[in-house]
Chains A and B, each alone.
Chain A
Amino acid sequence: MKPAVLELGIQRMLLALEASAHELAHVEAAARLAAQAEAELSGLLVEDEALRRLAELPVARVHGRHAPAGHAIDAPGMERALRAFSERARAAIERSAERAGVRWSFQVVRGQLHTQVVAAAAPADLVVVRGGEEAPAVAIAAPCSVLVLGSADRPGTPAMVVYGSSRAADRALVAAARLASPRGGDPRLTVLVTPGERAAMAARREQAGIVLRQLGREAQFKQLSSAEPVDLLGLAAQRGAMLVLDAEEVASPEVRALLERATFPVLLVR
């Protein structure tokens, strides 16, 4: 294994943001992750054109947590709200990035989230996107690795990596090892060896061990009896871990469904 492979190779973390109320909750976690990956944090706020259009309708109403019955909104009001949100997003990224000690940038674009994110992403990026309807589309189309944040994520906490025979297996292992920081005697990294022939499984385990030794990391190994995505996510949920998969897995409808309603972070490695 060449040393270059041992690096994450992420130069920029592209944090995709929608103009919605709770979107900024992940900024702090993303900044810490960028620091861990020694990458730049780049905020990309995508303003959905549909919001401006709806605000021009005479029937437009907004229902918020503190006003469940809703109130009317017009185009200038929506414009002001979007501008204010943009300023808050920028400030949040600046604050979190400086706290984490990473370089940062911020831009606002209009359009649909997955289109704009895919357009902005480069192969050396790591796209960070919140789980939801747009997440599978981003995961499929992005030219780089994609981290789909769950509704209760703690990026940088334990990681579980599925170590199979795919070509991205080693990269997934490196990413998991880099992003899961050990604590005390707990390696906080679990290598899930995919099922198969006994010899093949032993070989995979040995290969994973070689990579980990080169990284100077320890890990727990778990032999999977099933590599079904549902089982994997259940396993990750038990440990509150980030699940690291080969991006090819996104082809699975189950994985796509789980990305829509992600509870825990899922890192799809390319």
Chain B
Amino acid sequence: MSAPNPLTPDELRRCCDRASLPFETTDEIEPLEEAIGQSRAAEAVRFGIGIASQGYNLFAIGPAEMGKDTMVRAFIEERAAGARVPDDVVYVNDFSAPQRPRALLLPAGRGQALKREVLQLVEELRTALPAAFESEEFANRKQVIEAELKDRHEKLVVDLRKRAQERSVAVLRTPMGFAIAPVKGGEVLSPEEFERLPEDERKALAQRMEATQGELQELLEMSPKLEKEVRARVKALIRDVAVSAVGHLLEDVKKRYADLSAVASWLEALQQDVLENVEDFIKPQEAAADAALAELGVLGRRDRFRRYGVNVIVDHGATRGAPVVYEDHPTLQNLVGRIEHLSQFGALTTDFNLIKAGALHRANGGYLVIDARNLLLQAYAWEGLKRALRAREIRIESLGQLLSLASTVTLEPEPIRLDVKVVLLGERHLYYLIEQLDPELRALFKVVVDFEDDAARTPEADLLYARFVAQVTRREGLRPFDRSAVAAVIERGARLAGDAERLSAHMGELAALFREADYWAGAAGRATVSAEDVERAIAEDERRSGRVRDRVLDEIRKGTFLIDTRGAKVGQVNGLSVLSLGRSSFGRPSRITARARLGKGEVIDIEREVQLGGPIHSKGVMILAGFLAARYAPDHPLSLSATIVFEQSYGMVEGDSASSAELYAILSSLAELPLSQSLAVTGSVNQHGEVQAIGGVNEKIEGFFEVCRAAGLTGDQGVLIPASNVRHLMLSKEVVEAVRAGQFRVIPVKTIDEGIEILSGVPAGERDAAGSFPAGSVNGRVEARLIALAERRIALGRSETQAPAPGGGERS
């Protein structure tokens, strides 16, 4: 088997050919208007905002800072610009049921007009009605009614007294009402005179008094009816006077809204209410008290004219096209609206004037964009949004109502029909999590806009990148980027994608790089940004976020973390892992050791045993046992007990990228062959011994390179990587230059045999025609050791069978 060759410098970093960029600076090129590599997402957005059916809301998924909102915004704003402006929404009092305010929809701009006109109308009524009712004419007419009825009553009294007089009975007024007394000669009888009356005369007198009492009773019973009649006639008079005084004012307003039947109907109800409550307009003392309370900021029931208010909760007077609303704080109340309260003398009061619009109201007829994570963080907001979309109406409910926490009387505003396209922006895992937990998601958000993380790195894509640079620099007033700077950006894009053949689509992260490069160009006094500035920006960013990385390297250099970069040792190999801390991630070498002895065929992962190993790492270790058994002990029991451990690791270990390193350590331990410590290893392995691709290859190589550089580069040092990771290499210029100078190596391996040969310097060995590995080869030595262990175990088992165990049991 021929050993694989180390990679050439050109294979370690795919540089951008500056000559392929047809401009001097980005000022010469057209800015990019669309997102890079997002054709699938763009089609989904077009489809989603184009289809009008229910449930076709959009869920744009992808990592943060992908430019999701920028792209979605561009699409919907373009479409919204040509769309119809939706209606204004106002809430008004329902005079027959004040606790259920009525919602009115008016063409854009007419909501405020209605408010102004009704306000002015009420002001006019407050002037015109008192004037009408202070007039002599009204006073006279009212007086005539009251006098007429009093006359009728008085006449009845006079007539009654006359009839009583004819019966020798007097009807006298007393402080308690009328009294009936027998009279003689015009004078009330004294008790003595009454006693002296003969029995028959007294009886006759009693009958006459009784008759008068009956008539008096009838008269008194009639009084409330007469008073009721007075009230009814005065009320009718008030109505007549009010109609003649202000009817034309009301009619003028009604005429202007005759084309809007709901508004006209409400104005009719307002007119009826005004006529029913004219007294409210003619009570100057209370009006003064109201004004005083208003000055103190205390409003409520005492403000008698609040019920004629027009609460414009959505005003599209200045809106052009359909509204596009971004709700940054999507609480339930901010979405569906809320009802505010005023504290009035210690009690909370509310009315329709205190209804406030939510984002759904403002976006109705257009588009609402919400960050999904923000939405889910707010209690009941997701449920509230779903309820509105499902019912296709906006119903204002407070949390207190929803949870039945508040039992006080509150408002139930009339729901408003909802026609909105909602766009949620979120990360992928969030979408899949909701999809898994909430079956309604797919019914309400039928359009998934899945943003790509990266795009294929082609010459066309390179140019799109350049145009993206132009877009950001022009939009934000940054210095133009020269050709070298754009090339550096493209290379950075590939590095961010973790793939030399792809470019990152994380526009937000790139835009941040442009700004920082512009800063460093400014600091250097340059008019254009060059590659030097881009590289400075990258380096400074890494430096700012590299405190932990530097501490780790420092501790390795000082020998606190034991990493050998020279010599060879049995059962020990340098593994590589990636530490991610926020935005920063870096490679860190770890010493992996293995020990093997007679056992039951198990590979013990110490990390797993102490619950510091993740499931994928454990899976990788278990694969090793499968590999060892299948390759070396197909006909014998696998009779080893191997332990493997990440030395000086005190946190969780996850992933299977170290499984090849672990296997090398076990093989070294079994074969008792030392492994080179100047090399580090990464790659996962399958049960056939094939080395498989891993992630973070660039960080891992650079991590070991830094350690070697600190210890002194020897030329023997390097990293074994899976051959399938070669296309992902976008290594730093330092690593590339060290390789060019022969100071460092990156060696691609496809199999464990290739790797163990490089690490041990001993041929791996292949089975011959007889099925045996060559003696002295790595595999030969491993197999021999395993067979020896198996035989030893069999022998031990036999001796245990011959010597019965205490208790008479048999053990294997």
Within 8 A of A (CB), among B205-234: 206, 209, 213, 216-217, 220-221, 223-224
B686-727 vs A: 1/0 string, CB under 8 Å?
000000000000000000000000000000000000000000
B contact residues around A67 at 8 Å (CB): 177
CB-based contact A20/B139 at 8 Å: no
CB of B175 within 8 A of CB of A151, answer: no
The answer to whether residues A239 and B209 also contact, given A57-B191, A61-B180 and a CB cut-off of 8 A, is no
Q: Is the CB of A240 within 8 A of B174?
A: no
Return the chain B residue nearest A47 by Cβ.
B175
Given A51-B174, A53-B181, A57-B182, output 17 extra A-B contacts at Cβ < 8 Å.
A19-B175, A20-B173, A20-B175, A21-B177, A56-B190, A60-B181, A61-B180, A63-B220, A64-B177, A73-B179, A82-B175, A188-B136, A240-B140, A260-B158, A261-B151, A261-B155, A264-B143
A263 at interface, CB cutoff 8 A: yes
Residues of A within 8 A of B144 (CB): 237, 240
Query: B-facing mask of A186-219, CB < 8 A → 1, else 0?
Result: 1010000000000000000000000000000000
12 of the cross-chain contacts (CB-CB < 8 Å) are A19-B175, A53-B188, A56-B191, A60-B181, A63-B213, A70-B217, A78-B174, A81-B176, A84-B175, A151-B151, A154-B139, A261-B151
- Which residues from B are CB-within-8-Å of A85? 175
Q: C-beta contact mask, B669-684 vs A, less than 8 Å → 1, else 0?
A: 0000000000000000
Report the Cα distance A28→B194, complex, angstroms. 41
Which of A's residues lie within 8 Å of B, judged by CB? 18-21, 48, 50-51, 53-65, 67-70, 73, 78, 81-82, 84-85, 133, 150-152, 154, 157-158, 186, 188, 237-240, 260-261, 263-264
Residues of A within 8 A of B182 (CB): 57, 59
Q: For A84, A133, A188, A237, which residue has the most chain B Cβ atoms within 10 angstroms?
A: A237
> With A64-B220, A68-B220, A238-B140 given, is the CB distance from A152 to B194 under 8 Å?
no
Contact of B150 among A19, A48, A152, A157 (CB under 8 A): A152
Residue of B nearest to A24 (CB): B175
A70 to chain B, nearest CB (A): 6
Top 9 A-B pairs ranked by shortest CB distance? A64-B177, A20-B173, A240-B140, A54-B181, A151-B150, A152-B147, A85-B175, A68-B220, A263-B147
Q: Give the chain B neighbours of A73 by CB distance below 8 A.
A: 176, 179
Q: Is the CB of B177 within 8 A of A65?
A: yes
* Contact call A264/B147, Cβ cutoff below 8 A: yes
How far in angstroms is the closest Cβ of chain A from B778? 120
| Shortest Cβ gap from B152 to chain A (Å) | 10
How far, in whole Å, are A157 and B140 apart by their CA atoms in the complex? 10
- The answer to whether A53 and B223 have CB atoms under 8 Å apart is no
B190 contact set on A, CB distance < 8 A:
53, 56
> Would you give the shortest CB distance from A89 to chain B, in whole angstroms?
9
Is there a chain A Cβ closer than 8 Å to B189's Cβ?
A: yes
Cβ-neighbour of B187 out of A50, A65, A133 (below 8 A) = A50
| Interface contact A186-B136, CB-CB below 8 Å | yes
Does B270 touch A at the CB level, under 8 Å? no
B268 on the A face (CB < 8 A): no
1/0 per position for B399-439, CB-CB distance to A under 8 A?
00000000000000000000000000000000000000000
Q: Are A240 and B143 in contact (CB under 8 A)?
A: yes
Quick one: closest A residue to B194, CB to CB?
A: A57
Give the distance to chain A from B226, nearest Cβ to Cβ, in Å. 11
Interchain CB contact under 8 A, B191 and A19: no
Chain B residues with CB under 8 A of A60: 179, 181
B124 is an interface residue with CB less than 8 A from chain A: no
B443 interfacial contact with A, CB 8 Å: no
CA distance A36 to B178 in the complex (A): 35
* Complex: A20 Cα to B194 Cα, angstroms: 25
Residues of A within 8 A of B155 (CB): 261
A64-B176 contact in complex given A57-B191, A151-B154, C-beta closer than 8 Å: yes
Residues of A within 8 A of B187 (CB): 50
The A/B interface has a contact count, at CB < 8 Å, of 130
Given the complex, which residues of B lie within 8 Å of A18, measured CB to CB? Answer: 173
Q: Is the CB of B146 closer than 8 A to any CB of chain A?
A: yes
Mask, B104-144, CB within 8 Å of A = 1, is: 00000000000000000000000000000000100110011
Of the candidates B154, B158, B182, the one having the most CB atoms from chain A within 10 angstroms of its own CB is B154
Residues in B whose Cβ lies below 8 Å from that of A69: 217
In the bound assembly, the distance between CA atoms of A78 and B172 in angstroms comes to 13
**In whole angstroms, how far apart are the Cα atoms of A152 and B139 in the complex?**
11
Q: B472 near A: Cβ within 8 Å?
A: no
Report the nearest A residue to B220, measured CB to CB.
A68
The smallest C-beta distance from B131 to any residue of chain A, in angstroms, reads 10
Say how far B163's CB is from chain A's closest CB, in angstroms. Answer: 15
Contacts of B172 in A (CB 8 A): 48, 50-51, 54
Partner of A154, one of B143, B209, B217: B143
With both chains docked as a complex, state the minimum distance between the C-beta of B635 and any C-beta of chain A, in angstroms: 119
Q: Compute how far the CA of A264 lies from the CA of B190 in the bound complex, rounded to whole angstroms.
A: 37
Asked whether, in the complex, the Cβ of A59 is within 8 Å of the Cβ of B209, the reply is yes
Complex CA distance for A82 and B181, rounded to whole angstroms? 17
Beyond A50-B188, A57-B181, A261-B154, whether A239 also contacts B176 by CB under 8 A is no
A70 neighbours in B (Cβ, 8 Å): 213, 216-217
Measured CB to CB, the nearest residue on chain B to A239 is B140
Tell me the smallest distance from the CB of B220 to a CB of chain A, in Å: 4
Give the CA-CA distance A237 to B139 in the complex, in Å: 11
- Mask for B620-644, Cβ within 8 A of A = 1, else 0? 0000000000000000000000000
Shortest A243–chain B CB gap in Å is 13
Chain B residues within an 8 Å CB radius of A78: 174
Q: Are the CB atoms of A54 and B179 closer together than 8 Å?
A: yes
**Distance between A110 CB and nearest chain B CB, rounded to angstroms:** 14
Asked if B147 contacts A150 (CB within 8 A), the reply is: yes
Contacts of A263 in B (CB 8 A): 147-148, 150-151
- Tell me which residues across on chain B come within 8 A of A157, comparing CB atoms: 136, 139
CB distance from B170 to the nearest CB of A (A): 7
Task: Tell me the complex Cα distance, A239–B224, Å.
Answer: 28
Partner of B179, one of A61, A238, A260: A61
> CB-CB < 8 A to A58: which residues of B?
191, 194
One of B136, B147, B180, B191 near A63 (C-beta < 8 A): B180
Q: Which of A48, A63, A186, A261 has the most CB of B within 10 A?
A: A63
Also in contact, A81 and B175, with CB within 8 A (given A151-B154, A240-B136): yes
Complex: A63 Cα to B170 Cα, angstroms: 13
CB-nearest residue of chain B relative to A82?
B175
Closest chain-A Cβ to B25's Cβ sits at a distance in Å of: 83
Which residues of chain A are within 8 angstroms of B136 by Cβ–Cβ distance?
Answer: 157-158, 186, 188, 239-240
Within the complex, the shortest CB–CB distance from A29 to chain B, in Å, comes to: 13
- How many angstroms between the C-alpha atoms of A78 and B217 in the bound complex? 20
- Most B C-beta atoms less than 10 A away, residue of A19, A50, A158, A186: A50
Query: Once bound together, how far apart are the Cα atoms of A158 and B150, in whole Å?
Result: 21
B154 contacts which chain A residues (CB < 8 A)?
Answer: 151, 261
Complex CA–CA separation, A53 to B143 (angstroms):
38
Which of A81, A186, A260 interacts with B174 by CB under 8 Å? A81
| A62 lies within 8 A of B179 (CB) | yes
* Highest count of chain B CB atoms <10 Å: which of A84, A158, A186, A263: A263
Chain A residues with Cβ below 8 Å from B188 are 50, 53-54, 57
The docked-state distance in angstroms from the alpha carbon of A68 to that of B225 is: 13
Contact B150 A20 (CB under 8 A): no
State the Cβ distance, A100 to closest chain B Cβ, in Å.
18
